[in-house]
Chain A
């Protein structure tokens, strides 16, 4: 051959190309080979199941990443009327459940929540919230704290007229009178309360919840929601407790929030390890005093948020661990506190169980002493009654139905094991749902309906599901990290929250956490795996070897052509966020 010219060879040997066929093979419905069947099925993100308010966090971050801030903000409002508050003061159990923590760091969910609230404030956004037709029943709400206000918000969505009765001069409860301004500025709170009022909720201040008031309410309302909170500090039950220098931590915070500047010079001791203790100590530092926290367990056992404790220590607050006050004595106008030494005797859940370490004691002399060991209802009857046939105890509230007179339903701190703002919101939501079911379908309908509205396996509830929104279509299965296709995600550090420096913090009550830019928020939101949710990445379409993922005009944007889908499962494996399911084909 080598001797032949190329021209000759070309004529003899035309160059051929890849074998191919243009004959249609559509008649061969290869879908009949399938024994596994993929389908689109959104599931539940662990963050949303961990959020007591059941916020649709995966979707919120998806919208945020797309720059749809108003829609993201409204998605929060559907489940929680307090994004600006909770973005600041919530202990964010969502972040502890975030699947991304197993990859690099959890999403800064609380910072994004606050960002969305800030954006709504800056742009003066008005939410577009779905509302059911008006109902004839009216609901009275006792207490304008987070639980009462949340109940009013959700009841309004369900079509009920609500009046909120509040003892103090301004609504907000613990948010207004208990949490210091450096954690929650007044504007942020007032804006969200005004938003609730804008929905038609009436808030009547200066109306203490008394037995007389309850009697008055009987005529005009079909239900009363009692959310009076834990407003009174618990007694220490030790000698000397009522001496002049011994003060109530909550009352102190309330005075500061009312604009007073109580004297704080010298050394103040605070007894307790919760957020109130830390808030009191840090407020004292800001008022020019020295603060020492006396706690009966260890630092890691404190119920106060770890970040708050760390900042308190940075600001100069001292912490004495494993001491319990045994006696308080007057000493030249000061307080001598006798402290019993404690020792760790074991584990009690996640924190230490302590007992006295023999007879060892010590003492400190301070200028004043604050009690902040816990709180309880100011009146005994604020608490739900003991078990009876007329009582329905739910996870976050208790319903009392007696013949004649309005239904009473108790919620907030008086029914919640964990006394947090977001649990108070959860109470308000559950109470609203329970009352609605009671009015519409009677008491027996409440439990089955609530069971159908849980996020994941509960106990968090979703108002969107209750009202028949798209979220009800999701599988309650909570997506685990192993179900995420992590190959599709890059390592990227969690955003760092900009903060005032320590020197600036201790000089005033200015808010510590600063605003973040839209850029930073979008980048952080992009880190979200959106566990279980479809974000239209189109991997299923790209990877389908049978061209059986077909784009269409549906909400999903695509469907599977089962005539030709062989059930290889590639789409399901390549779905980065487990928004698809592969099941055995039933024939």
Chain B
């Protein structure tokens, strides 16, 4: 049934449909509406779940590690500083192979204090062993959250479903909300591969010596690879029931494109409009939307960018001393391909600044009119700022 929902509410609906049993969260803007809705569902019995209030995001993830270890499906949502505080336990959750699912509403890191969208918070967690999805609209949010549980549980790794602050978390759109019966058909009850059992006591997470640790890490690496393959099959299942699929990446008009934008999150939607405008004027623009960031779908990216003459990666994030993070990843994916186009890196929309069609057109013309990429990232729309004393 179609409902008009915020991105945040779409997450909550998916969590309800997934029959999550333990929700824990510490309040932080802009994810607030997600756990607000879920706490209401837990309190009113709309969900048969325990809502754990905690004193910090660190405790929140610790609580979920405990709950998931006890054999139940879990969920949390956070943003920005909250995610940063969870960092240690993000490693713990993936190392313990716990398929926890989290909604991460991208928020800029402080100082300066800023509650608006910026991907640096989630991308800074790229090495924690969490699968990461970036969503474009509310429909994708609800679908991806359901997909996330199935994928996480298939490989015993946690998943982060990432959405842009406000542009997605707080924007109302019509969303097709699955029926519970359909959701159940797609996502069977959680069967833990391991659960705490007082009758069979053991130490969990004990000291692991050098003789085994490396193999353990290799297993995680292999599980990430498996996740990539499983995702395609899980999307097949999803499409059979709901008629929708997204792909790890989406290549839009890339076949004959000379310049391809690489985008993620809500910027993709704006880029779709720009693509129509430029195409109508004879400009051959294509878009490669990256949905799955971890594991990074190298082969699909290479394939989609094979015909491009120039690649323009638009990053709403920045790795200081290096470049935009998506640009780094795309360059890394391409560098060992036999032939590949030059990669232009653009930084836009940091800290919630609007990325308008005009901004994207500016990126297009800059790319078209430059013979080769500059060595450093190009920051779009920087203004003169007068510094006070």
Contact of A13 among B193, B204, B219, B297 (CB under 8 A): B219
Please give, as numbers and ranges, the residues of chain B lying within 8 Å of A4 by CB-CB distance: 229
Is B299 a contact partner of A2 (Cβ separation < 8 A)?
Answer: yes
Is A9 located at the chain interface by the 8 A CB criterion?
yes
Stretch in contact with the other chain, from A16-24, A174-182, A191-199, A250-258: A16-24
Is B194 a contact partner of A9 (Cβ separation < 8 A)?
Answer: no
Contact of A15 among B156, B200, B225 (CB under 8 A): B156
Roughly how many angstroms separate A22 CA and B97 CA in the complex, as a whole number?
Answer: 18
Please give, as numbers and ranges, the residues of chain A lying within 8 Å of B203 by CB-CB distance: 20-23, 25
Please give, as numbers and ranges, the residues of chain A lying within 8 Å of B110 by CB-CB distance: none
Roughly how many angstroms separate A22 CA and B204 CA in the complex, as a whole number?
Answer: 9
Query: What bracket does the count of chain B residues touching chain A fall in?
Result: 20 to 34
Max chain A CB contacts within 10 Å: which of B223, B229, B233?
B229
Is A403 located at the chain interface by the 8 A CB criterion?
no
Please give, as numbers and ranges, the residues of chain A lying within 8 Å of B225 by CB-CB distance: 1, 9, 13
Roughly how many angstroms separate A331 CA and B82 CA in the complex, as a whole number?
Answer: 86
Query: What bracket does the count of chain A residues touching chain B fall in?
Result: 20 to 34
Is A18 a contact partner of B300 (Cβ separation < 8 A)?
Answer: no
Q: What is the distance, in angstroms, from B151's C-beta to the closest C-beta of chain A?
A: 12
Roughly how many angstroms separate A210 CA and B184 CA in the complex, as a whole number?
Answer: 94
Please give, as numbers and ranges, the residues of chain A lying within 8 Å of B155 by CB-CB distance: 15
Roughly how many angstroms separate A3 CA and B96 CA in the complex, as a whole number?
Answer: 28
Is B202 located at the chain interface by the 8 A CB criterion?
yes
Is A17 a contact partner of B233 (Cβ separation < 8 A)?
Answer: no
Is A20 a contact partner of B194 (Cβ separation < 8 A)?
Answer: yes
Is B169 located at the chain interface by the 8 A CB criterion?
no
Please give me the residue from chain B that is nearest to A14 by CB atom. Answer: B219
Roughly how many angstroms separate A21 CA and B207 CA in the complex, as a whole number?
Answer: 9
Q: What is the distance, in angstroms, from A568's C-beta to the closest C-beta of chain B?
A: 16
Roughly how many angstroms separate A13 CA and B155 CA in the complex, as a whole number?
Answer: 10
Contact of B69 among A3, A6, A18 (CB under 8 A): A18
Contact of B226 among A10, A19, A22, A25 (CB under 8 A): A10
Please give me the residue from chain B that is nearest to A12 by CB atom. Answer: B222
Please give, as numbers and ranges, the residues of chain A lying within 8 Å of B328 by CB-CB distance: none
Roughly how many angstroms separate A17 CA and B99 CA in the complex, as a whole number?
Answer: 10
Is B228 located at the chain interface by the 8 A CB criterion?
yes
Contact of B222 among A5, A13, A18, A23 (CB under 8 A): A13
Is B89 located at the chain interface by the 8 A CB criterion?
no
Q: What is the distance, in angstroms, from B40's C-beta to the closest C-beta of chain A?
A: 21
Is B216 located at the chain interface by the 8 A CB criterion?
yes
Contact of A5 among B69, B98, B156, B229 (CB under 8 A): B229
Roughly how many angstroms separate A22 CA and B219 CA in the complex, as a whole number?
Answer: 21
Is A19 a contact partner of B208 (Cβ separation < 8 A)?
Answer: yes
Is B299 a contact partner of A17 (Cβ separation < 8 A)?
Answer: no
Q: Tell me the A8-47 residues at the B interface (CB within 8 Å).
A: 9-10, 12-23, 25
Please give, as numbers and ranges, the residues of chain A lying within 8 Å of B229 by CB-CB distance: 1-2, 4-6, 9
Is B210 located at the chain interface by the 8 A CB criterion?
no
Is B206 located at the chain interface by the 8 A CB criterion?
yes
Q: What is the distance, in angstroms, from B321's C-beta to the closest C-beta of chain A?
A: 31
Is B226 a contact partner of A13 (Cβ separation < 8 A)?
Answer: yes
Q: Decide: A17 near B206, CB < 8 A? Known: A2-B229, A5-B229.
A: no
Q: Decide: A9 near B202, CB < 8 A? Known: A15-B193, A17-B156, A17-B194.
A: no
Is A21 a contact partner of B202 (Cβ separation < 8 A)?
Answer: yes
Please give, as numbers and ranges, the residues of chain A lying within 8 Å of B232 by CB-CB distance: 2
Please give, as numbers and ranges, the residues of chain B lying within 8 Å of A19 by CB-CB distance: 95-96, 204-206, 208, 216
Is A22 a contact partner of B228 (Cβ separation < 8 A)?
Answer: no
Is A16 a contact partner of B219 (Cβ separation < 8 A)?
Answer: yes
Q: Tell me the B126-185 residues at the A interface (CB within 8 Å).
A: 155-156
Roughly how many angstroms separate A25 CA and B203 CA in the complex, as a whole number?
Answer: 9
Q: What is the distance, in angstroms, from A550's C-beta to the closest C-beta of chain B?
A: 14
Q: Tell me the B100-136 residues at the A interface (CB within 8 Å).
A: none
Contact of A18 among B98, B230, B297, B299 (CB under 8 A): B98
Please give me the residue from chain B that is nearest to A13 by CB atom. Answer: B222
Please give, as numbers and ranges, the residues of chain A lying within 8 Å of B219 by CB-CB distance: 13-14, 16
Please give, as numbers and ranges, the residues of chain B lying within 8 Å of A10 by CB-CB distance: 226
Across chains A and B, the number of contacting residue pairs, with CB separation under 8 Å, is: 76
Contact of B193 among A9, A17, A25 (CB under 8 A): A17
Roughly how many angstroms separate A382 CA and B69 CA in the complex, as a whole number?
Answer: 77
Contact of B204 among A12, A14, A20 (CB under 8 A): A20
Q: What is the distance, in angstroms, from A79's C-beta to the closest C-beta of chain B?
A: 42
Roughly how many angstroms separate A21 CA and B203 CA in the complex, as a whole number?
Answer: 5
Please give, as numbers and ranges, the residues of chain A lying within 8 Å of B216 by CB-CB distance: 16, 19
Q: What is the distance, in angstroms, from B291's C-beta to the closest C-beta of chain A?
A: 14
Roughly how many angstroms separate A2 CA and B299 CA in the complex, as a whole number?
Answer: 7
Q: What is the distance, in angstroms, from B348's C-beta to the closest C-beta of chain A?
A: 30
Roughly how many angstroms separate A12 CA and B221 CA in the complex, as a whole number?
Answer: 12
Roughly how many angstroms separate A3 CA and B299 CA in the complex, as a whole number?
Answer: 9
Please give me the residue from chain B that is nearest to A5 by CB atom. Answer: B229
Q: What is the distance, in angstroms, from B234's C-beta to the closest C-beta of chain A?
A: 10
Contact of A6 among B156, B233, B297 (CB under 8 A): B233
Is A18 a contact partner of B96 (Cβ separation < 8 A)?
Answer: yes
Q: Decide: A2 near B297, CB < 8 A? Known: A13-B226, A16-B97, A20-B205.
A: yes
Is A18 a contact partner of B97 (Cβ separation < 8 A)?
Answer: yes
Q: What is the distance, in angstroms, from B143's C-beta to the closest C-beta of chain A?
A: 20
Please give me the residue from chain B that is nearest to A25 by CB atom. Answer: B203
Please give, as numbers and ranges, the residues of chain B lying within 8 Å of A6 by CB-CB distance: 226, 229-230, 233
Please give me the residue from chain B that is nearest to A22 by CB atom. Answer: B202
Please give, as numbers and ranges, the residues of chain A lying within 8 Å of B228 by CB-CB distance: 1-2
Please give, as numbers and ranges, the residues of chain A lying within 8 Å of B222 by CB-CB distance: 9, 12-13
Q: What is the distance, in angstroms, from A64's C-beta to the closest C-beta of chain B?
A: 31
Roughly how many angstroms separate A506 CA and B225 CA in the complex, as a whole number?
Answer: 88
Q: Tell me the A351-398 residues at the B interface (CB within 8 Å).
A: none
Max chain B CB contacts within 10 Å: which of A10, A18, A25?
A18
Is B156 a contact partner of A20 (Cβ separation < 8 A)?
Answer: no
User: Beta-carbon contacts of B185-227 to A below 8 Å, as 1s and 0s?
Assistant: 0000000011000001111111010000000100110110110
Please give, as numbers and ranges, the residues of chain B lying within 8 Å of A13 by CB-CB distance: 219, 222-223, 225-226
Please give, as numbers and ranges, the residues of chain A lying within 8 Å of B97 by CB-CB distance: 15-18
Roughly how many angstroms separate A23 CA and B230 CA in the complex, as a whole number?
Answer: 35
Please give me the residue from chain A that is nearest to B92 by CB atom. Answer: A18
Roughly how many angstroms separate A21 CA and B223 CA in the complex, as a whole number?
Answer: 22
Q: Decide: A2 near B300, CB < 8 A? Known: A13-B219, A17-B97, A17-B194.
A: yes
Roughly how many angstroms separate A4 CA and B226 CA in the complex, as a whole number?
Answer: 9
Please give, as numbers and ranges, the residues of chain A lying within 8 Å of B194 by CB-CB distance: 17-18, 20
Is B193 a contact partner of A21 (Cβ separation < 8 A)?
Answer: no
Roughly how many angstroms separate A2 CA and B224 CA in the complex, as a whole number?
Answer: 11
Roughly how many angstroms separate A22 CA and B197 CA in the complex, as a whole number?
Answer: 12
Q: Decide: A20 near B226, CB < 8 A? Known: A2-B299, A2-B300, A15-B156.
A: no
Please give, as numbers and ranges, the residues of chain A lying within 8 Å of B98 by CB-CB distance: 18
User: Beta-carbon contacts of B218-257 to A below 8 Å, as 1s and 0s?
Assistant: 0110110110111011000000000000000000000000
Roughly how many angstroms separate A196 CA and B223 CA in the complex, as a whole number?
Answer: 80
Roughly how many angstroms separate A15 CA and B157 CA in the complex, as a whole number?
Answer: 10
Is A18 a contact partner of B233 (Cβ separation < 8 A)?
Answer: no
Q: Decide: A15 near B206, CB < 8 A? Known: A1-B229, A4-B229.
A: no
Beyond the given A3-B299, A17-B97, please list 18 additional residue pairs across the A-B interface where CB-CB is below 8 A.
Answer: A1-B226, A1-B229, A2-B232, A4-B229, A6-B233, A9-B230, A13-B225, A14-B219, A15-B97, A15-B155, A15-B193, A15-B226, A16-B97, A16-B220, A17-B193, A18-B69, A20-B202, A21-B202
Residues on A lying within 8 angstroms of B by beta carbon are 1-6, 9-10, 12-23, 25
For the complex of A and B, the 10 pairs showing the least CB-CB separation, nearest first, are: A13-B222, A17-B194, A1-B225, A18-B96, A21-B206, A20-B204, A22-B202, A21-B203, A16-B219, A20-B202
The contact sample of 13 A-B pairs, CB cut-off 8 A, is: A2-B229, A2-B297, A13-B222, A13-B225, A14-B219, A15-B193, A15-B226, A16-B220, A18-B96, A18-B98, A19-B96, A19-B208, A21-B206
